[in-house]
Amino acid sequence: MASAVHRPALSMLDLVAVREGGTVAQALQVAVRTAQHVEALGFARYWVAEHHNMPGIASSATAVLVGHIAGQTSTIRVGSGGIMLPNHAPLVVAEAFGTLAELYPGRIDLGLGRAPGTDGPTMRALRRDRIETEEDFPRDVAEVQRLLGPPQPGQRITAMPGAGTQVPLWLLGSSLFSAQLAAQMGLPYAFASHFAPRMLLPALELYRRLFRPSATLAKPYVVVGVPVIAAPTDEEAQYLASSTYQRVLGILTGRRGRLPPPVADFWSSVGTQERAGIADFLAAAVVGGPQTMQAGLRALQQATQADEFILVSDVFDPDLRLRSLELTAAANAAL
C-alpha cells in the first residue's frame, strides 16, 4: 500500500478560453458556470489570469471578471492569478481590488506577477512608454501592500476604496526571482508550473528555505499549478487532452488561436521536436482515468509537498470540463 501524503487543497485557475466556433460571451458564461461548479466541489479559490491581445483568451479585464464571478458565487474566494503588475500603476490595482473587497468581504485574492502577459507592442500600449526595471516589481508590490493596509499618519496618497481592506497578496512566478521575493516579504507563493514547470522544485526549495514570517503569514504556503484532464478512461482523457496539446503547440509555434476541439490520434501528426516541446510545457500535467489521476497527483504532491494545487483544465466541451474537475477532486480526495 502506498504511503499517505498530505492532501493539498484544490483551486482553479481559468484562462477563460474562447472556443473555436464560440463567442467571448459564451466563454464568460462557461467561466461563471465552472466557478459555481468548483465552489460546490469545495475548492478553495477561483482565479482568472491576465493576458492581452490573444484571440483565444477572454480574461484581459481581470478585475472586472473577478467581480462578475464573485457576484455569481457565494463562498469561494475569487481573485487574480494574476494581475501583471508591470501593466498597471499600483494605485489603480489597489483601488480596483479594494473596491472588490468592499463588495465581497473576505473573498478576494490579489495574485501579482511580473511578466507582461502579452507581447512587446501590446505592453507598450498598456503602459505607453514606461520602461520596466528589475527593481520596479518589488517596489510596486510593496506599494500595493501599503495602499491596501491601514492608512498611516501623513500618508499623502490613499487608495479609496482600498485602504484598510488588506486584500491578501500572493506572489506568482515561474523562476527563482519571485520565489525569493515572496520569501523575503512573507507572502504565499504560487508557482506557474501549469506552463513553465522547469524551475518548480528549485523555486519551492528556495522559497521555503528563505521564508521570513510576516504579519500575514507565519510559515511558507505553496500553490502549484497543475494542468489536468480527467475522464472515465485513460484513452478518453488523452483524446480530450488533444485540445490542450493543440493549444500548446500553437503557443510554441507562434500561432495562437481559439481553443480547438479534440482530434483523434493527435500524436501521430506531430514530429519529435514538437512532441518534446509539448511534453516540456506540460511536464506537471496529470491526464487520465481515475487511477492514473490519483497516481499522478500523488507523485506530484510527494515531489512538491504543496499546500494547494491550482488546476487548469482546458477541455473543449464545457460539460466534460466540469466532469474532469469532478473526477480530479475525487482523485485528490483519495490521496
Mean pLDDT, rounded, for 16-26: 97
Sign of CA dihedral 48, 217, 298, 4: negative
Given a cut of 70, whether residue 125 has pLDDT beyond it is no
Given a cut of 70, whether residue 126 has pLDDT beyond it is no
- Residue 54's pLDDT band, with cuts at 50, 70 and 90, is confident
CB 326 within 8 A of CB 41: yes
Q: Quickly tell me which residue has 528556495 as its cell.
A: 206
**Residue 117, pLDDT score:** 47
- pLDDT tens per residue, range 287-316: 999 999 999 999 999 999 999 999 999 999
The C-alpha R_g of the chain, in whole angstroms, comes to: 19
- Residue 116's pLDDT band, with cuts at 50, 70 and 90, is low
**Residue 129, pLDDT score:** 58
Higher pLDDT pick, 269 / 214: 214
Given a cut of 50, whether residue 2 has pLDDT beyond it is no
The Cα–Cα gap between 203 and 148 comes to 27
Given a cut of 60, whether residue 249 has pLDDT beyond it is yes
Mean pLDDT, rounded, for 2-25: 90
Given a cut of 50, whether residue 1 has pLDDT beyond it is no
User: Which of 57-61, 95-99, 130-134 comes out lowest in average pLDDT?
Assistant: 130-134
Q: Grid coordinates standing for 47?
A: 482565479
Mean pLDDT, rounded, for 112-125: 67
Mean pLDDT, rounded, for 157-161: 92
- Residue 136's pLDDT band, with cuts at 50, 70 and 90, is confident
Report how far Cα 166 is from the mean position of its chain's Cα atoms: 21
Given a cut of 60, whether residue 3 has pLDDT beyond it is no
Mean pLDDT, rounded, for 264-280: 94
Cβ-based neighbour number of residue 38 at 10 Å: 25
Mean pLDDT, rounded, for 80-109: 95
Mean pLDDT, rounded, for 249-260: 92
Q: Looking at the DSSP assignment, which residues form a beta bridge with residue 230?
A: 288
Sign of CA dihedral 92, 96, 97, 99: positive
Mean pLDDT, rounded, for 173-187: 95
Given a cut of 70, whether residue 282 has pLDDT beyond it is yes
Given a cut of 70, whether residue 150 has pLDDT beyond it is yes
Query: CA distances (Å), 155 to each of 147, 150, 160, 216, in order?
Result: 10, 10, 13, 22
**Residue 134, pLDDT score:** 62
**Residue 153, pLDDT score:** 86
**Residue 259, pLDDT score:** 97
Domains of the chain: 9-228+304-325+329-333 (3.20.20.30)
Mean pLDDT, rounded, for 237-257: 94
**Closest among 275, 243, 276, 272 to 258, alpha carbons compared:** 243
- pLDDT tens per residue, range 63-89: 999 999 999 999 999 999 989 988 899
Sign of CA dihedral 23, 24, 30, 33: negative
Q: Grid coordinates standing for 135?
A: 527593481
Q: What is the 3-state secondary structure (H, E, C) of the chain?
A: CCCCCCCCEEEEEECCECECCCCHHHHHHHHHHHHHHHHHCCCCEEEECCCCCCCCECCCCHHHHHHHHHHCCCCCEEEEEEEEHHHCCHHHHHHHHHHHHHHCCCCEEEEEECCCCCCHHHHHHHHCCCCCCCCHHHHHHHHHHHHHCCCCCCCCCCCCCCCCCCCCEEEEECCHHHHHHHHHHCCCEEECCCCCHHHHHHHHHHHHHHCCCCCCCCCCCEEEEEEEEECCCHHHHHHHHHHHHHHHHHHHCCCCCCECCCCCCHHHHCCHHHHHHHHHHCCCCEEECHHHHHHHHHHHHHHHCCCEEEEECCCCCHHHHHHHHHHHHHHHHCC
Mean pLDDT, rounded, for 263-267: 94
**Residue 113, pLDDT score:** 93
Given a cut of 60, whether residue 128 has pLDDT beyond it is no
**Residue 92, pLDDT score:** 96
